Structure 1
Amino acid sequence: MKALIRSSAAVSAFILALSSSGVLIAQAATTGTTTTPTPMTSTATSDLTAGPLTLTAVPSFDFGTATLTGTTGDKVPGSSVTGALKVTNPGQIGGWQVTVAGTPFTDTSGTALTGTILSLDGLATNPITADDSTNTSTLPTFVTPETISTSATVVESAAPSTSTSHIGIGSYTTSYDAAASSLAVPSSTVAGTYTSTLTWTMSNAPA
């Protein structure tokens, strides 16, 4: 009988020990510390190259019908402008310019006017607008008013960009004003329909 009691006591002690150790294990699991993994870094790279300078559109000017007076300096105001000057500079930082040269005004028989003065002007103080509203580059410079001759004349330009100031990068539209443009003809002008061909050129010459 004593042996049985001793065995029961031993079993009870063993169960109690297991229970105690289980509680301790559970407590250790719930009170353990949490560690944060160390952050890692990587890179994203893009190699962007500049595209070519491009004229995408140029304007045409109509001076309508005017009556000659035979006096010095007949000045015919512009009647309408068709289209606008559109330029694109995809990422070039060296600066650029647009020039215009005009052939002599000639009639259908090939007779040329001499002494004409063609003057072009913009629609506003600075008629240049960026085509993209998110463009943060400085606008190009508009030359106003400009007298067009047979020699190339600068009408718009952008200075070279710097690391902190981008100038004339992106796409731009320049609106010309018919009313502010004019064609002056000498008193010796003979009646007729006269036309001049305007050649617009964009180059990477710095302003």
Structure 2
Amino acid sequence: MKMNKLFSSIAASAMVLTALAPAAVANAASGNPTNVQGTGVGAYTNNGKLGMATSASANVTDGSATAQSDANVKVIDGFLVLQAVPDFGFGTAMAGSKDVRLIDGTSMRSDDGTPAGTVAILDSRNAATAANGFELKATVDEFTDSANQATPGFVLNFDQFTEDKNADNTHLNTNPSIQIPADGKTSGQIINQKNTRGQHYFTYKGLGNQVTLAVPDKIPADQYSSTINWTLSAKAV
């Protein structure tokens, strides 16, 4: 009798948990699946994961495949937000090179950087507050080699350029000729602007001169990396 009561209790609990579980959302891709044996595709249409072919036959112009993704945004009001900072990948260089151009947004460290090369700042404060602007500064830690040994002498050089044009900004400029030695202490003022309400994107493009790297002389061949520390302050100085 006790066992019957126990099983009844478990069954009732399972029913409650099932009722509370969220319903599955039908969002699978549809079409002729390519994840079948051989070189062809499935001879049937079903729902599953990409990739999906538009048909089961080769070189035809009928059929279709579908998939779902999403678009999302968080809307805020009254805040100054540092949304994104870039990773800088300078590719390969020689010891003593003073003007190594940016190649891409490759990252060598686990940090907050993105590969898009963009500093993104949102100023959603009211016009009176945003009139005070903001300041963006950066420091660069010492570069370390593959054995994590510090190597002094690297310098990041930032040149002036205008933010990406869009309908929701005031077309701000970065500061010209900023040199930041990689010593973990010296800061460089990248942006110091007033009247900053809006969305701002400053994109460092590959092979441009918006940011370059100076490599010290007579250092051994190795892989070197550093952390850039970005600080956004809520008032221009």
Q: Is residue 2:161 matched to residue 1:103?
A: no
Q: Secondary structure at the match of 1:189?
A: coil
State, as a whole percentage, how many aligned pairs show the same letter. 24
Q: Are the aligned partners of 1:56 and 1:86 in contact in 2 as well (CA < 8 Å)?
A: yes
**Matched residues in 2 for 1:67 and 1:143: separation?**
28
Partner of 2:172: 140
**Matched residues in 1 for 2:164 and 2:206: separation?**
18
Cα RMSD over matched residues?
2.4
Q: Secondary structure at the match of 1:140?
A: coil
Q: Secondary structure at the match of 1:174?
A: strand
Partner of 1:56: 83
Calculate the TM-score normalised by the size of structure 1.
0.60
Partner of 2:191: 156
Partner of 2:157: 119
Q: Is residue 2:234 matched to residue 1:204?
A: yes
**Matched residues in 2 for 1:77 and 1:194: separation?**
16
Higher helix share: 1
**Matched residues in 1 for 2:79 and 2:136: separation?**
14
Tell which structure's C-alpha radius of gyration is larger: 1
**Matched residues in 2 for 1:146 and 1:74: separation?**
14
Count of matched residue positions in the alignment of Structure 1 and Structure 2: 143
Q: Is residue 2:197 matched to residue 1:169?
A: yes
Partner of 1:87: 121
Q: Are the aligned partners of 1:63 and 1:76 in contact in 2 as well (CA < 8 Å)?
A: yes
**Matched residues in 2 for 1:67 and 1:206: separation?**
38
Opposite residue 179 of structure 2, the aligned amino acid is: T
**Matched residues in 1 for 2:122 and 2:98: separation?**
37
Q: Please, which runs of 5 or more residues in structure 2 have no aligned partner? A: 1-75, 106-114
Opposite residue 102 of structure 2, the aligned amino acid is: G
Deviation at 1:130, TM superposition (A): 5.3
Per-residue CA distance 1:133-154 (angstroms, 9 max, x = gap): 1x3x633331134222332211
Aligned CA distance change for structure 1 residues 56 and 130 (closer, same or farther; 3 Å): farther
Q: Please, which runs of 5 or more residues in structure 1 have no aligned partner? A: 1-48, 160-166
**Matched residues in 1 for 2:164 and 2:196: separation?**
11
Partner of 2:214: 184
Question: Which stretch of the first structure deviates more once superposed, 141-150 or 101-110?
Answer: 141-150
Per-residue CA distance 1:127-174 (angstroms, 9 max, x = gap): x1355x1x3x63333113422233221111222xxxxxxx11111100
Opposite residue 103 of structure 2, the aligned amino acid is: S
Per-residue CA distance 1:45-100 (angstroms, 9 max, x = gap): xxxx96221111111111112243xxx55543222243201001112332211111
Q: Is residue 2:92 matched to residue 1:65?
A: yes
Calculate the TM-score normalised by the size of structure 2.
0.53
**Matched residues in 2 for 1:158 and 1:183: separation?**
25
